[in-house]
Every structure is written in C-alpha cells, then in structure tokens.
Amino acid sequence: MTGKINSENGYVKVEIHKVFKVLLSILLCFPVIGMIVLILIDTKEFSPILIVVMLLQVLMIRYIFIGLAFKFLSKDSLNRLRDVLDIEWIKNQA
C-alpha cells in the first residue's frame, strides 16, 4: 500500500509487490511449460483439446486464484488501516 493521508482527505493505492508479480508470473507459466513438454515427449497422443485445457488453466489461475485472493486480502488490509486511523472510506469515482 502506498498513498498519502491528510487530516481531511487522502488516497491509498494497493498493488501487488514486484517480487510476488514475478513469482505469480512463473506460476502462470507452468501450464504452458507442461504443454510444451507434452508436445515434445508424446506427439502421437496429442489432442487439440489440451490447448483449450491449458488456456482455461491459465485463466483460472489468473482470475480466480490470484484475482480473488488480491481482492479479499487488499480489502482486509484497507479495513485494518481504517480501524487504525479511525476514519471512514469514500471511494474515488475515477
């Protein structure tokens, strides 16, 4: 979390740390690496449906696991900050 808080107003920006972005990018590469290994090792039994499965795995990891975890953890962090500062949040419409 980064931002600036004054007595009247302020802003808080919540984002994923750069190290976690790298680690999550590596996690997203696992289905692609698995597909490449499968193509190189077992070309006789390759099915085109496996490409769809790989894409769905990447999308599921990105939007369900990472997206929901970030949403819930960032909301929890902001609520803790609000409790410490004893303030109420006003969402920015921008």
Give me the residue spans of the domains in the chain.
27-85
**Helix, strand, or coil here: 24?**
helix
Q: Position 24: which residue type? A: L
Cβ-defined contacts of 28-31 (< 8 Å, 24+): 28/58, 28/61, 28/62, 31/57, 31/58, 31/61
pTM over 0.75: no
Per residue in 4-62, pLDDT (tens digit) is 877 777 778 888 889 988 998 898 899 989 888 888 887 677 778 888 988 999 999 88
CA-based end-to-end distance of the chain: 18
